[in-house]
Amino acid sequence: MKIVISPAKSLDFESALPTEKYTQPAFLAQSEKLNKVLLKKKPKALSELMRISDNLAQLNWQRNQEFSTPFTVENARPAVYAFNGDVYQGLDAATISEEKLDKLQDTLRILSGLYGILKPLDLMQAYRLEMGTQLKVGRKKNLYEFWKKDLTDHLNSELEAGELFINLASNEYFGAVDEKALKVRVITPIFKDWKNDKLKIISFFAKKARGSMVRYIIDSDAKTLADIQGFNSDDYMFSKEHTLKENQPVFIR
């Protein structure tokens, strides 16, 4: 099984790491190419490009200046312990046991605007570059054009025929993958809440549930779609009634 999730804007480079294990990103050469483009942009240009505040632009200008290779445990941090948004709160990677880390490393992939795709233990440096950013790189007019073939080919190289592929990424990030070119079917779980007598996707809760589902898969050693449908964290339950397509199972609460 393979799972893809989105990165997070909020980062944690301070808390203690639960493991000394780490690996290197597959597309670091491409990341260096992107950073060379970003290096030329002043804080004001970054603010306009990314639609962020002046303070955030200054912070990320500094991050771009400090980007350096090779990545080591002194200047970088394993990705799954560096991202700190809603999805990662649901995943709670710091409490995953050492014996489950290999399963996590083999199963989970994190899509990224700067790094393309990351394994959980791949080292990364702090950055801000959302996949939807209209950053021109050479002849590529945006990051989707820059990454799509590489990410799709990479995922296909890891996937076996008939292997279960779970998409828990946002539309923004999964848009960087050519779904039609993948050699397996994609399962995209949907999380909905009852609100005002209607079922709605509430972003904060859905993001956290995506992380919780990753954790459920790792902890329960889920292998089949039926196993996935057994997810019941955060009071979400699979609803056959509201599932209109088999590859889009709906979980409600």
Phi, psi at residue 249, to the nearest 5°? -60, 135
Q: Among residues 4, 251, 253, 9, which one has the least CA distance to residue 128?
A: 9
Q: Quote the number of domains for the chain.
A: 1
Strands 186-187 and 190-195, bridge-based pairing: unpaired
pLDDT tens string, the chain, 253 residues long: the values are: 999 999 999 999 999 999 999 999 999 999 999 999 999 999 999 999 999 999 999 999 999 999 999 999 999 999 999 999 999 999 999 999 989 999 999 999 999 999 999 999 999 999 999 999 999 999 999 999 999 999 999 999 999 999 999 999 999 999 999 999 999 999 999 999 999 999 999 999 999 999 999 999 999 999 999 999 999 999 999 999 999 999 999 999 9
Range of the domain at 15: 2-252
pLDDT tens per residue, range 66-96: 999 999 999 999 999 999 999 999 999 999 9
Q: Among residues 75, 105, 93, which one has the least CA distance to residue 17?
A: 93
- pLDDT at position 124 is 98
Three-state SS for the chain is CEEEECCCCCECCCCCCCCCCCECCCCHHHHHHHHHHHHCCCHHHHHHHHCCCHHHHHHHHHHHHHCCCCCCCCCCEEHHHHECCHHHHHHCHHHCCHHHHHHHHHHEEEEECCCEEECCCEEECCCCCCCCCCCCECCECCHHHHHHHHHHHHHHHHCCCCCCEEEECCHHHHCCCCHHHCCCCEECCEEEEEECCEEECCHHHHHHHHHHHHHHHHHHCCCCHHHHCCCCHHHCEECCCCCCCCCCCEEEC
- pLDDT at position 152 is 98
- pLDDT at position 62 is 98
pTM: 0.96
Q: d(Cα 111, Cα 19) in Å, to the nearest integer? A: 22
104, 5 contact by CB (below 8 A): no
Q: d(Cα 200, Cα 70) in Å, to the nearest integer? A: 45
Q: Among residues 110, 123, 107, 195, which one has the least CA distance to residue 158?
A: 107
Strands 123-124 and 77-78, bridge-based pairing: antiparallel
pLDDT tens per residue, range 186-228: 999 999 999 999 999 999 999 999 999 999 999 999 999 999 9
Q: What is the CA radius of gyration of the chain?
A: 18
